Amino acid sequence: MNKTWLLPWWRDLDRLTAGRDLVAGLVIAAMLVPQGMAYAALAGLPPQVGLYASLLPPAAYALFGTSRYLAVGPVAVVSLMVATATAALSQRHGVDPVSTAASLALVSGALLMLMGILRLGFLTHFLSRPVLTGFLSAAAVLIAVSQLPQILDIRVEASDPVTVLSTVAGQLEQINPWTVGTALATILVIRWVNGPVGRFLSRANLGLGVLVGRMGALVALVLAIVLASLTGLSDQLPQIGEIPAALPRPSLPPLDTAWLLELGGAALLISLVGFMESVSVGRALAAREGESIRPDRELLGLGAANLAAGLTSAYPVTGGLSRSIVAADAGARTPLAGVFAAIFVLLVLLLATPLLEALPRAVLAGIVLLAVVQLISPREWRTIWIQDRRDGMVLVLTALAVLLVGVEAGLVAGIAASILVLLWRVSRPHVAVVGRIAGTEHFRNRERHEVEELPGVRMVRVDESLQFPNSRFLRDTLVQAGSEPGIRDVVLIASAVNDVDATALEALEEAIDTLNGRGVRLHLAEVKGPVMDRLERVGLPERLHPGEIFLSTHDAARSLGSRMRHVHE
Using a pLDDT cut of 70, give the percent of the chain over it: 93
> What per-residue confidence (pLDDT) applies to 200?
77
- Yes or no: say if 387 and 124 are a contact pair by the CB < 8 Å rule: no
* Helices first, then strands: H and E counts in the chain: 26, 8
Give the C-alpha separation, 301 to 69, whole Å. Answer: 13
Give yes or no for residue 322 having a pLDDT over 70. Answer: yes
Residues 6+ positions from 11 with CB-CB distance below 8 Å? 2, 4
pLDDT band at 1 (very low <50, low <70, confident <90, very high): very low
**From its phi and psi, is residue 487 left (phi > 0), alpha (psi between -120 and 50) or beta?**
beta
pLDDT band at 567 (very low <50, low <70, confident <90, very high): very low
Average pLDDT over residues 349-359: 87
- Yes or no: say if 402 and 411 are a contact pair by the CB < 8 Å rule: yes
Distance of CA 216 to the CA centre of its chain: 27
Beta strands 443-445 and 457-462, pairing class = unpaired
Give the C-alpha separation, 336 to 333, whole Å. Answer: 8
For every residue of 421-439, DSSP letters joined together read HHHHHHHS--EEEEEEPTT
> What per-residue confidence (pLDDT) applies to 569?
44
> What per-residue confidence (pLDDT) applies to 477?
95
> What per-residue confidence (pLDDT) applies to 23?
82
- Yes or no: say if 451 and 426 are a contact pair by the CB < 8 Å rule: no
Question: Across all residues in the chain, what is the average pLDDT?
Answer: 87
Among the four given CATH numbers 1.10.10.10, 3.90.1150.10, 3.20.20.70, 3.30.750.24, the one describing domain 431-568: 3.30.750.24
Angle, CA of 214, 217 and 219, to the nearest 5°:
90
Question: What is the pTM for the complete model shown?
Answer: 0.80
Residue 6 DSSP code: S
**Helical H segments across 45-176, by residue range:** 47-52, 56-64, 76-93, 97-117, 129-146, 148-152, 161-169
- Yes or no: say if 190 and 221 are a contact pair by the CB < 8 Å rule: no
Give the C-alpha separation, 121 to 127, whole Å. Answer: 11
In the three-class reduction of DSSP (H, G, I as helix; E, B as strand; rest coil), residue 335 is classed as coil
Q: Kindly state the helix (H) or strand (E) to which residue 489 belongs, with its residue range.
A: strand 489-493
Each domain of the chain, given as residue ranges in start order, spans: 15-421, 431-568
Residues 6+ positions from 71 with CB-CB distance below 8 Å? 28, 32, 58, 319, 320, 323, 324, 326, 327, 337, 338, 341
Q: What is the pLDDT of residues 209-261, one digit of tens each?
A: 556 666 788 888 889 888 888 877 777 888 888 888 778 888 888 777 777 77
Cα dist. 263→45, 49, 112, 135, 270 in Å? Answer: 17, 19, 15, 20, 11
Q: What is the pLDDT of residues 107-134, one digit of tens each?
A: 999 999 999 999 887 776 677 889 989 9
Give yes or no for residue 555 having a pLDDT over 90. Answer: yes
Give yes or no for residue 330 having a pLDDT over 80. Answer: no
> What per-residue confidence (pLDDT) applies to 205?
59
Give yes or no for residue 54 having a pLDDT over 50. Answer: yes
Average pLDDT over residues 536-552: 93
> What per-residue confidence (pLDDT) applies to 36?
92
**From its phi and psi, is residue 101 left (phi > 0), alpha (psi between -120 and 50) or beta?**
alpha
Using a pLDDT cut of 90, give the percent of the chain over it: 48
> What per-residue confidence (pLDDT) applies to 462?
95
27 or 504, which is more confident: 504
Give yes or no for residue 198 having a pLDDT over 80. Answer: no
Beta strands 457-462 and 489-493, pairing class = parallel
pLDDT band at 21 (very low <50, low <70, confident <90, very high): confident
Q: What is the pLDDT of residues 507-541, one digit of tens each?
A: 999 999 999 999 999 999 999 999 999 999 999 99
Q: What is the pLDDT of residues 71-114, one digit of tens each?
A: 899 999 999 999 988 988 877 777 889 999 999 999 999 999 99
Give the C-alpha separation, 446 to 434, whole Å. Answer: 5
> What per-residue confidence (pLDDT) applies to 281?
82
- Yes or no: say if 456 and 486 are a contact pair by the CB < 8 Å rule: yes
Q: Describe the crossing of helices 97-117 and 76-93 by its angle, rounded to 10 degrees.
A: 120
Distance of CA 138 to the CA centre of its chain: 14
Of how many residues is the chain composed?
569
Q: What is the pLDDT of residues 432-465, one digit of tens each?
A: 999 999 989 999 999 999 999 999 999 999 999 9
N-terminal to C-terminal alpha carbon distance within the chain? 69
Average pLDDT over residues 37-65: 92
Cβ density class 414-438: b for 16+ within 10 Å, e for less: bbbbbeebeeeebbebebbbbbbee
Give the C-alpha separation, 323 to 536, whole Å. Answer: 55
Average pLDDT over residues 344-351: 91
Give the C-alpha separation, 165 to 240, whole Å. Answer: 24
- Environment class of residue 74 by beta-carbon count within 10 Å: exposed (0-12), middle (13-18) or buried (19+)? buried
